[in-house]
Amino acid sequence: MNEKIKVFLPYLIIIVAVVFIKAFIVTPIRVNGSSMEPTLHQKDIMLLNKAAYYFSSPKRFDIVVVDMPDEYLIKRIIGLPGESIEYKDNTLYVDGKEIKEPISNLETDDFNIEELGSDKVPDNCYLVMGDNRKNSLDSRELGFIKEEQILGRTSFILLPFNRFGNVE
């Protein structure tokens, strides 16, 4: 093997590995806006797990990154395919049953999925909302999010260091 190739081969392998990991497994992503407060804050840097749904489907309350035409949105999954979703008096009801959310003190205006023109979340779609329900562009305005629009799950804050770690 040529000496020059021997010298550069380890660097080439590292570059290819980093590009592969960033393209298919994990990549950093920045929170833009206040729609996920108090859970996430403007300019938090998080890890996007692109491989999270290769072998499974998104779950209720996962924090996901949604690919929109002009930007990425970070939201929480509230409704799964085939479910009827309603908020009444700040309480989430799924198929008529009360569901406790992982975040306390959420203020959510009354909402019924029928306002989106359907009595259930369509197949391969999800209903997503920001944790800051009073200031969030989400499924209530955008409609249902298709599964292929979900780039992955994010639940780990890298920066700032005082917020480093997992979020729920």
Among the listed residues 35, 50, 136, 139, the single catalytic one is: 35
CA distances from 48 to 52, 120, 155 (A): 9, 28, 8
Q: What is the pTM for the complete model shown?
A: 0.87
35 is annotated as an active-site residue: yes
Active site residue 104: no
Burial 95-105 (b: 16+ CB within 10 A, else e): eeeeeebeeee
DSSP-derived 3-state class of residue 103: coil
Q: 116: pLDDT confidence band, cut at 50, 70 and 90?
A: very high
pLDDT of 77 reads 98
Kindly report, residue by residue over 76-107, the tens digit of the pLDDT: 999 999 999 999 999 999 999 999 998 877 88
Fold of 3-166: Umud Fragment, subunit A (2.10.109)
**Which residue in 22, 34, 56, 75 is the catalytic one?**
75
Query: Which sequence spans correspond to the domains of the chain?
Result: 3-166
